[in-house]
Amino acid sequence: MPLARSLSITSLSGLEEWDEEFDLEDAVLFEIAWEVANKVGGIYTVIQTKARLTAEEWGENYFLVGPYVESNVRTQVELIEPTNPALKRAIDKMNSSGCKVYFGRWLIEGSPYVVLIDVAFTAWNLDKWKKELWDNFSIGVPWFDREANDAVLFGFLTAWLLGEYAAQCEEPPHILAHFHEWLAGLGLALCRQRQLPVATIFTTHATLLGRYLCAGSVDFYNNLADFNVDKEAGDRQIYHRYCLERTAARCAHVFTTVSQITAVEAEHLLKRKPDIITPNGLNVKKFSAMHEFQNLHAQSKNRIQEFIRGHFYGHLDFNLDKCLFLFIAGRYEFSNKGADIFLEALARLNYLLRVNHSDVTVVAFFIMPARTNNFNVETLKGQAVRKQLWDTAHTVKERFGKKLYESLLVGQLPDVSKMLDKDDFTMMKRAIFATQRQCQPPICTHNMLEDSNDPILTCIRRIGLFNSSADRVKVIFHPEFLSSTSPLLPMDYEEFVRGCHLGVFPSYYEPWGYTPAECTVMGIPSISTNLSGFGCFMEEHIADPSAYGIYILDRRYRGVDESCNQLTSYLFQFCQQSRRARIIQRNRTERLSDLLDWRYLGRYYISARHMALAKAFPDTYFYQPHDSETAQGFRYPRPASVPPSPSLSRHSSPRQSEAEEDDDRYDEDAEAEKDRLNIRQPLTLPSKKGPALPYTLPGANGEKNGAASVKN
């Protein structure tokens, strides 16, 4: 589902244009991944959201290849006959040879064609293919690693499919195969080993060894050059997986990764520098009114406030209108996702708010799925008490209204002392007594299976944030993904994000980071790090990220305590902002949506594909590199006016006081009009229905950029 945004700004400026055409009429693109029509992780989001743009560029010559999972096919795929004659012959040949290959349309935006291979049906070939893998690549896969076994089957089957398709083509084909992650990487290596006429791209979204090393609390980035990669992979019993990943990276015509920080990681661990960076994007659907996303923020915030009223019943001694909602969400990786440093910063923020006698209350949500057995009874009771209070108030209001109406009918002003009778007061007193609570509001909304060993709960016990009345920072741990059908917090993730004020993602290991990107598209400021792909991308493309509500935490060149102090400073200064300043900041944050739209970021994938075709078919396609000095990266300018956002550099304007709430010096329409001078219309990608339009050929890390064309 596309995320929505406003028309407050158009698109990016400063992008160098490229005027050559690239004829794709005779080329065919196969995009191969284990997560095609099979949701496992973030790669599914990348492929799903990018499909419409790629289908527009390649038309009928774009095919996604993935595993056949019956439960997913029933709900996501419409099975049809292959439309490409050569592909139909290839699939029929494979099916007659003992395979099960299906063809259909994936029912997502763009409706791309999919080729789904039943991996389990050909498991009888596993031993034979493992022997071939050992003979040709000297990679042995243990029998007990089911995921690696699936990778072997999937790799050989995709290479079989590509080879069969090439054989069935009447004319020499120009095949481009894009492989995502190590699970699909073996197919690439087999294509090169069998010398198939296939241009290959391999994209790693996160290195295997990097994820394992960071999970083990290793000082990863300071020791990248010193790791004995073979030993480290062997110690963690993933050496065979690592070899499959490294082989694919080394064999590909073009090797890409999703961020600059992951490129550094890949260069040391996979021993090849990526040819180009291909950042992850989102589908951004525009609103017709600029202020609409602000209205959505207010509506979602009201729903969160209703939950807070129930959760803190009996201890609701803070002003909800001066309450800020912060959140962190994602996989439950306590250190990798930065939950540890976030909790420590919250404890320090609580101290600062108390000693400065701040009237601001911060509620921090942790949305990370963990092992639970049910909802917490005390949490459910809180929502029931809130509903009972609402019903009581509604009943008294109806009685009051009826008496007022009858008094006015007879032409008399009501006697206020008689409007509420004894029964009304009794009912209200019972409701008030029902809100009395002997215990503190719960930290966790569910019953944890391993309460004593849970990292978040253990850290909360250490820092002493127990949601007491004296605390200005409250913590709510929701160990389950959000759902609109939940009896506790009936909101889906997008609604919840819109209702919050700040997303906090101080990750130590985050190859890209969709969560802060989604915040940006929805106009919600966020804190990221310079160890995340998103943070590095924003630092590269925005001259002053904090002016747009994108705070980049330094975790690469600072120690843990220094980073924690910096995070605490960001949070404290955010709490000092006035409501008006936060509204201005949300407008600026939302303006960056185009920067994260596939209409812009898709050009990086286009560049990688053109580069691969030029390398694999030099007689047909030509790639002309530019001088790196003339291809400077684009940097989004600072806002036209002085930003109101907090900044450690102190170059921004002073924080507005509450007395300035009604000051009219800031005009959002005028502000957007000034910034629009730096903007041009969005990119229109090359389409199969017409000639290719100009676009920029970006490179990785200042590497030589280039433009490609077709030789006549």
Owner of token pair 């691969």: 612
Look at residue 425 and give its three-state secondary structure: helix
Decide: 216 and 185 in contact? Cβ < 8 Å. Answer: no
pLDDT above 90 as % of the chain: 65
Q: pLDDT by residue (tens digit) across 362-409?
A: 999 999 999 999 999 999 999 888 888 888 888 888 888 888 888 888
Mean pLDDT, rounded, for 497-524 = 94
Per-residue pLDDT band for 17 (boundaries 50, 70, 90) equals: very low
Per-residue pLDDT band for 141 (boundaries 50, 70, 90) equals: very high
Mean pLDDT, rounded, for 332-342 = 93
Cβ-count burial of 74 within 10 angstroms (0-12 exposed, 13-18 middle, 19+ buried)?
A: exposed
Tell which wins on pLDDT, 685 or 146: 146
Residues 6+ apart with CB under 8 A from 24: 57, 58, 61, 686, 688, 692
Decide: 355 and 319 in contact? Cβ < 8 Å. Answer: no
Q: What is the pLDDT of residue 290?
A: 55
DSSP secondary structure, 527-543, as one string: EEETTBHHHHHHHHHBS
Residue 422, pLDDT > 50, answer yes
Distance CA 21, CA 510 (A): 36
Look at residue 27 and give its three-state secondary structure: strand
Residue 285, pLDDT > 80, answer no
Q: pLDDT by residue (tens digit) across 573-593?
A: 999 999 999 999 998 998 888
Residue 430, pLDDT > 80, answer yes
Residue 150, pLDDT > 80, answer yes
Residue 66, pLDDT > 70, answer yes
Find the Cα–Cα–Cα–Cα dihedral 598, 283, 536, 553, rounded to 10°: 170
Structure tokens at 561: 């305590």
Residue 570, pLDDT > 50, answer yes
pLDDT above 70 as % of the chain: 83
Q: pLDDT by residue (tens digit) across 179-195?
A: 999 999 999 999 999 99
Q: pLDDT by residue (tens digit) across 433-485?
A: 877 888 899 999 999 998 999 999 999 999 999 999 999 999 999 999 899 99
Distance CA 690, CA 13 (A): 24
Structure tokens at 685: 């990608």
Q: What is the pLDDT of residue 622?
A: 81
Distance CA 19, CA 17 (A): 6
Tell which wins on pLDDT, 429 or 187: 187
Decide: 307 and 486 in contact? Cβ < 8 Å. Answer: no
Q: pLDDT by residue (tens digit) across 92-134?
A: 999 999 999 999 999 999 999 999 999 999 999 999 999 999 9
Q: What is the pLDDT of residue 704?
A: 41
Distance CA 34, CA 147 (A): 11
Range list of H helices, 312-375: 339-355
The full 3-state SS of 468-480, as one line of letters, equals CCCCCEEEEEECC
* SS percent in the chain: helix, strand, coil, step 5: 45, 15, 35
Mean pLDDT, rounded, for 202-222 = 90
**Residue 529 phi, psi dihedral angles, 5° rounding:** -130, 165
Decide: 524 and 496 in contact? Cβ < 8 Å. Answer: no
Distance CA 507, CA 336 (A): 6
Per-residue pLDDT band for 638 (boundaries 50, 70, 90) equals: low
